[in-house]
Structure 1
Amino acid sequence: MLQQYKTTLFIFLIFTFASAQIDPDKVIIRKTLSEAWELDSIDKQGTFRLMSYRPIYFSAARWSSRRNTEPFNESGEFQSKDKNIFNNIETKFQISFKTKVIQGLLFGTGDLWVGYTQKAHWQVYNKTLSRAFREVNYEPEVMLNFPTKIPLFKGHIRTVGLTLNHQSNGKDIPTSRSWNRIILNIGYEYKNWNINFRPWYRMPDDEDENPGITRSVGDAELEVATHFGKHEFYTIINHSFSTLEKGNIQLNYVFPIHGHLRGHAQVFQGYGETLIDYNIQQTTIGIGVSFANW
């Protein structure tokens, strides 16, 4: 456990130090889809360059309207009888990286990427639980992207791709949670607006630890982002095609502090903020700092 704390603090300090060294006049608030995925020839950077993928942030305080004191899943097989004494205030952080491993697949147009995202909820203010990590979600991915420039309304569909996604919390039964998906990604761009639509197919699992996850979390994601000067806003919506009453929405506001260091306010409402909470509805509010966005 002590090693986990050291690793977390080390990562946080590296990003804080690196952010403070950047000239604020050279800060790029949001990359275009071409810059993010190297779609156009002018943006090609080759392979095996490590770069940010999803937003990287640290929320010093995250408040929840509902504590999941008895995690369970709908099958009952993985039900936990433990009475977990969680605080409704904790810290949350997310780190995310990607790298291109093959450039110019399939007639020289496609690129193969690998990505990794880790999201952690840390009961750092909870002395009763020895400041333990409540939930850590691990998400490795393999992504095949193709550049496009299809006119749509006043903008363009700039990328179409497929992703093989695995997400798990690395725990043992009864609180183990995981699922595998094949995700279609469609990226649309108009002026300073980026829209990504990601419907997915959940792959069958003989030992299903969360059988109702698509009913709670959904089977598609919509991400909409824009910026005004150095202020950035992005929304992530997950919803199901089969039910209308569940899903979730996450609202994010990123604002300048100093150099590349920016503040980050986040509001979440709905189901599945973490895998262990996939069938728990809650509202959460977090405040912290942001290091990198989409």
Structure 2
Amino acid sequence: MMKIDGRSLLMAALMLAGVAHAATGNEMQAALHTCQTEFIDDAKRRLLCFDQVAQKYASAQAATPALLATKQQELVKTVDAKTNYLARKWHLNPQDELHFTDLETYQLNYVVGSISSNPNDIPTSPSRPNTQDRDLSNSDLHFQISLKTQLMNLSDWLPENKWVHSARLWGAYTQQSFWQVTEKDQSRPMRDHNYSPELILSLGLNKPGETKQWAVMPDMLNLGIVHESNGRSQPLSRSWNRIYLQGGWQLNDRYSLLFKPWWRIPESKSEDDNPNISKYMGYGDVSLRWDNEANDTAASVTLRNNLRSDNKGYVKVDVQYKPLKSESVKFYAMLASGYGVSLLDYNQAQTMFGIGFAIGE
């Protein structure tokens, strides 16, 4: 019988440990290479991928080539899930660290030269009659500024449950402006401003299963209250307040769907600048967004309808494209048609086309 002493056993164990360590090191190198190649043009996703590797392989054991390939596929899926549109827009990952001073884009920020088919020269409403003709040009320099910041991260306060995994309270502000920059004879007036502050509670949801019965459950819910006004004096004053519930579905890595019904908070008859606004602006909107695989092109379509027999609606289609390697500046084109292109135009239909640049998403 062959005799094996303790020293030989120790040497064999060290050799096996060295082989396992080398295999694990190769596995980590392969994972890091996956991060570099899969997300070569997206610094944020690449950094998240590196973080995932550090967490996943810190105490990993050696893997066979087949298992290694499976782990690499799982790594890419995990990064994609944490960086899809809804997840990155609303920070549905509860571990995302944000501060009050971390301003982010809310809606798209853009500057476009726009042309309208039917400028609203004599804006009026049932409670604010008007006869003054503003004799506007059909072109504007149209821009939007929209920012949000986290007021509180409520995720750590959530009770143990299987439904909600993140909760954040946001403050947001959006401003649209329409500048008659070509109207030199009229001192280039502002046709309209729309000011819109919001308070939003955003919840990231868990789907208990992958069966079809859970497919209709949203990945995110936003509960918000919003005030919108144009800051004008009568008879051009327009304003309304709404409470909304917005559901978000990440249909796959490329498509996301947002559905937002709202309820208008009633106003007294004497203070209501636009008593029939729901007839034209409807009771909610729905948006479908597409992002390409490289995340340098996105397109979306937004629809509103009053759900009445007179069928007054609105549709907006926009396209964003990053012509450079910049993470933020994009080429932007938009086409909007229907009622409510601006708040002052809530009851006048028109078609507006604009082209320019955007920041954010």
- Superposition TM-score tier, normalisation by shorter sequence: 0.7 to 0.9
- Segments of structure 2 that go 5 or more residues without pairing to the other structure are 1-39, 46-82, 160-165
Q: Deviations over 1:9-37 (max 9, x none)?
A: xxxxxxxxxxxxxxx93477985312221
Kept after mapping to 1: 8 A contact 2:301/2:318: yes
Q: Deviations over 1:240-288 (max 9, x none)?
A: 2334511100000112222232211110110001111000001111111
Kept after mapping to 2: 8 A contact 1:239/1:246: yes
Q: Which residue of 305, 310, 324 maps to 1:239? A: 305
**Given the two structures, how large is their TM-score scaled by the length of structure 2?**
0.69
Q: 1:56 — aligned with what? A: 109
Q: Whose Rg is larger?
A: 2
Question: Which of 171-180 and 249-258 deviates more?
Answer: 249-258
**Correspondence list, 1:165-184, <5 A:** 165-184=226-245
Considering Cα pairs closer than 8 Å and 6+ residues apart, tell me whether 1 or 2 has the greater RCO. 1
Q: 1:9 — aligned with what? A: none
**Correspondence list, 1:137-152, <5 A:** 137-150=194-207
Kept after mapping to 1: 8 A contact 2:115/2:140: yes
CA distance in 1, matches of 2:181, 2:236: 20
RMSD value over aligned CA atoms?
A: 2.2
Quick check: 1:288 aligned with 2:349?
no
Q: 2:121 — aligned with what? A: 69
The AA in structure 2 aligned to 1:224 is: L
Q: Deviations over 1:25-61 (max 9, x none)?
A: 34779853122212123434344421110011110x2
Q: 1:117 — aligned with what? A: 174
Alpha-carbon distance, 1:84 to partner: 0.3
Quick check: 1:193 aligned with 2:255?
yes
Question: Which of 61-70 and 102-111 deviates more?
Answer: 102-111
CA distance in 2, matches of 1:152, 1:113: 32
CA distance in 2, matches of 1:48, 1:183: 26
Question: Which of 84-93 and 44-53 deviates more?
Answer: 44-53
Q: Secondary structure at the match of 1:216?
A: helix
Q: Secondary structure at the match of 1:165?
A: strand
Q: Secondary structure at the match of 1:43?
A: coil
Q: Which residue of 68, 91, 103 maps to 2:153? A: 103
CA distance in 2, matches of 1:72, 1:280: 9
More strand by share: 1
Q: 1:132 — aligned with what? A: 189
Q: Secondary structure at the match of 2:41?
A: helix
Aligned residues: 267
Question: 1:28–1:232: structure 2 CA closer, same or farther, 3 Å change rule?
Answer: farther
The AA in structure 2 aligned to 1:119 is: Q
CA distance in 2, matches of 1:134, 1:152: 51
Q: Deviations over 1:70-123 (max 9, x none)?
A: 0000x2x31222110100011101110001111117636532111000000110
Q: 1:213 — aligned with what? A: 277
Kept after mapping to 2: 8 A contact 1:158/1:188: yes
The AA in structure 1 aligned to 2:356 is: G
CA distance in 2, matches of 1:57, 1:271: 21
- Segments of structure 1 that go 5 or more residues without pairing to the other structure are 1-23
Kept after mapping to 2: 8 A contact 1:263/1:290: yes
Q: 2:266 — aligned with what? A: 204
Q: Secondary structure at the match of 2:323?
A: strand
More helix by share: 2
**Given the two structures, how large is their TM-score scaled by the length of structure 1?**
0.84
Kept after mapping to 1: 8 A contact 2:94/2:167: no
Report percent identity of matched pairs: 29
